[in-house]
Structure 1
């Protein structure tokens, strides 16, 4: 009965079973109580797990290592670190000796709550008293320091553990390498990866993926591809996630055929592609305008037993729209339904924007009108589509229509991006009257434009010889607490140096504004 209630997450019922007003002398086994606490923590019901532990203490029941470990874990998750420390006192009173997991769990709790210094301090003190700490304790301290961007301290922990005879494993090095990659220090990441390999510690696909991802994010595409080839030649196992990073990079470089060769090599190595791998290549073909190849790959994906997801279908629907295949778009939407996939807002928006980009603005408008349930994001997609193809009058009129209906601003939507793009394209076209109208309406509705938008407006005002309006906008930006950057000041300098040739520095321009 308890397991049935827990499987349905009916925890209140379970609590009533375990802790009724009258117990009649009946006591549940510790195993059952541990099972309850474990599931509560897994489901995020940490406060209830804490309540269960408090009730167990009140009833004076006999608890085991696992119960205390769960209590420490639950209390650390809610930040009750002092209460978690008291569990060790409870264990001492009950004659239960804490194991390595209990100590490590507490250290992890400290690190997760931004107290990695204290976690490391406890690790060192417990090590002196011969507490049984394993490699995991060091791993979580290194992870904690990395999360706090204290990479030097994290590297120091690695040296410290080696000094005390604790042999680091791939997970210890992996945390440190991930930390350096997270903050873009790829040279240090590669240094520690090479050091790990030189010690005979085999790397894993997770660490390899982290390194490759960092290289790609830093724009070091060719270095990443070279590193990937080196990993392969070294006999390091790389999984489908690693392959997908490279497939995506090749597709973005426009060499989809090379990506396909790598895809086939991957299959030869008995690494079964998943939907993500197929979708990456389908997207690559779509970006190249090779719809037939994309749909052939889509068919292969289905034939090999992979169920297409919304991401895959959205890419294909969007490309059909961009190519102007209006009827095929509608047919594909019907086909999606046969797969059990319901087109969502993203699907519809990609089609609307795609039709605009494909020169089918009227069809995009008709598609939006045909939707039974419309939302602001759908109209924003149309506005964005107009902006992309320079249909500025249509974009402006759509914005004004939305403003009259009072639905132009909504938190959590893509409003900010679209409206700032609208202001930008109007400024570039010299339509400062319309740009300022959009700007003022947004300000009036509580929307605060960012620095880039202010700078673009100021620059555009200077271009049409409206220096007074530009300076007023500059002052308004500062009043709102938006700090100008070097680009903003350069705009001021360039404009004022044309007006007053005596101005020869940024400082003079700022002073004369």
Structure 2
């Protein structure tokens, strides 16, 4: 709020010098106070504009402010803005209503979201595909997939009709609910209906199969799609590398990793993390370290999650020296020890720990476990 206070000081100085603030100044202050939680001041400025005959912000402006507030979870504040809009004579449009519906869905208030939908219909505004997609996503997000399916079937019978995005929402919801058979059935239905299958759809299908212990099936589908010249993104390739390791198809995983650069794409941090983690799990420590070096040379910075994963795997394998080398990379800022890593260290190096006698192999600053337990 410091900058807003400075802005209000400048605003007051302008008025004191007889300079009339223009709409841009008012708009900036109204948006600032609204998004920072001081709706009282924002409302004062709006009414001040109307009293002075200065054109008020339009409905698009207020809808944008409401959207920002809703994304912070402040849905009731967004309702206050909505009431302000009607109070000054502006007419809410479908974007305004959809913004409120989305806000309630984001915080899991589905009944309130439908209450806004009822108000919208009462105002003579028909729900569009964005409205229904938002409601379907809301249901799936809070685990109410059956309600999402009911809504989806209603769309099939009426208007607006489901789009690729609608199918993607429901497919993802089904996979997350563990309903793999129903998701596969809907995917077939999607293709037969002639709905465009996007790269996002493939990502949901392949990722969902892997998540639900159908990695072999995912690899088979991936290969079929590749034969059809479907162009995959790096997210899908990362998923499939992991799936191939999971079903013991290591050579294929290595080949897919090599194909990333050959196809003109660039491995990202997740790609390297998947490769390193799986190589370590298989006991290929030297290959994993080579991959880590390749990662650093490529400019991809390892994150805390990867470093902690490497440390834990090496410790569990009894490779204390190598684990210590990675522990030395912990800086406490960008990379820090996770609770599970600390717990493992205490278990292994406490007075009764499995590797108690090897504690001197750890970096000095981690030898405080000596005598613990």
The separation in 1 between residues aligned to 2:228 and 2:279, in whole angstroms, is 34
Greater mean alpha carbon deviation, residues 183-192 or residues 139-148: 139-148
Q: Which residue of 1 is the match for residue 259 of structure 2? A: 300
Deviation at 1:278, TM superposition (A): 0.4
- Describe the superposition over 1:372-394 as per-residue Cα deviations: whole angstroms up to 9, x where unpaired: 82558399659749989xxx951
Deviation at 1:276, TM superposition (A): 0.8
Pair 271,99 (structure 1): closer, same or farther in 2 beyond 3 Å = farther
| TM-score between the two structures when normalised by the length of structure 1 | 0.59
Structure 1 residue 282 and structure 2 residue 236: aligned?
A: no
Q: Which residue of 2 is the match for residue 373 of structure 1? A: 328
Structure 1 residue 246 and structure 2 residue 201: aligned?
A: no
- Describe the superposition over 1:474-495 as per-residue Cα deviations: whole angstroms up to 9, x where unpaired: xxxxxxxxxxxxxxxxxxxxxx
Pair 166,343 (structure 1): closer, same or farther in 2 beyond 3 Å = closer
SS of residue in 2 equivalent to 1:230: helix
Structure 1 residue 338 and structure 2 residue 293: aligned?
A: no
Of 46, 60, 73, which aligns to 1:88?
A: 46
Deviation at 1:269, TM superposition (A): 7.3
Of 141, 152, 172, which aligns to 1:213?
A: 172
Deviation at 1:173, TM superposition (A): 1.9
Give the 5 Å matches for 1:43-54: 47-48=2-3, 51-52=6-7
Greater mean alpha carbon deviation, residues 119-128 or residues 346-355: 119-128
Q: Which residue of 2 is the match for residue 185 of structure 1? A: 144
Of 6, 20, 32, which aligns to 1:74?
A: 32
Pair 384,158 (structure 1): closer, same or farther in 2 beyond 3 Å = same
SS of residue in 2 equivalent to 1:200: coil
| Contact kept in structure 2, 1:310 and 1:341, CA below 8 Å | yes
The separation in 2 between residues aligned to 1:352 and 1:118, in whole angstroms, is 46
Pair 385,215 (structure 1): closer, same or farther in 2 beyond 3 Å = farther
The separation in 2 between residues aligned to 1:218 and 1:270, in whole angstroms, is 31
Deviation at 1:117, TM superposition (A): 4.9
Pair 110,320 (structure 1): closer, same or farther in 2 beyond 3 Å = closer
Deviation at 1:316, TM superposition (A): 1.5
Q: Which residue of 1 is the match for residue 333 of structure 2? A: none
Pair 377,149 (structure 1): closer, same or farther in 2 beyond 3 Å = closer
- Structure 1 regions of 5+ residues with no counterpart? 1-45, 409-436, 442-513
Deviation at 1:258, TM superposition (A): 3.1
Pair 368,354 (structure 1): closer, same or farther in 2 beyond 3 Å = closer
The separation in 2 between residues aligned to 1:270 and 1:70, in whole angstroms, is 49
Pair 195,130 (structure 1): closer, same or farther in 2 beyond 3 Å = farther
SS of residue in 1 equivalent to 2:354: helix
Of 102, 105, 112, which aligns to 1:146?
A: 105
| Contact kept in structure 1, 2:281 and 2:313, CA below 8 Å | yes
The separation in 2 between residues aligned to 1:205 and 1:68, in whole angstroms, is 41
- The number of residue pairs the alignment matches comes to 358
| Contact kept in structure 1, 2:108 and 2:138, CA below 8 Å | yes
Deviation at 1:243, TM superposition (A): 1.8
| Contact kept in structure 2, 1:386 and 1:394, CA below 8 Å | no
- Describe the superposition over 1:144-184 as per-residue Cα deviations: whole angstroms up to 9, x where unpaired: 33344331121122122123211222222222222222221
- Which one scores higher on RCO, CA 8 angstroms, separation ≥ 6? 2
| Contact kept in structure 2, 1:111 and 1:119, CA below 8 Å | yes
The separation in 1 between residues aligned to 2:212 and 2:184, in whole angstroms, is 12
RMSD: 4.0
> Rg: which structure is higher?
1
Q: Which residue of 2 is the match for residue 510 of structure 1? A: none
SS of residue in 2 equivalent to 1:305: coil
- Describe the superposition over 1:303-325 as per-residue Cα deviations: whole angstroms up to 9, x where unpaired: 11111122211221222223223
- Describe the superposition over 1:228-267 as per-residue Cα deviations: whole angstroms up to 9, x where unpaired: 3322332333432332222123234554453234335655
| Contact kept in structure 1, 2:273 and 2:306, CA below 8 Å | yes
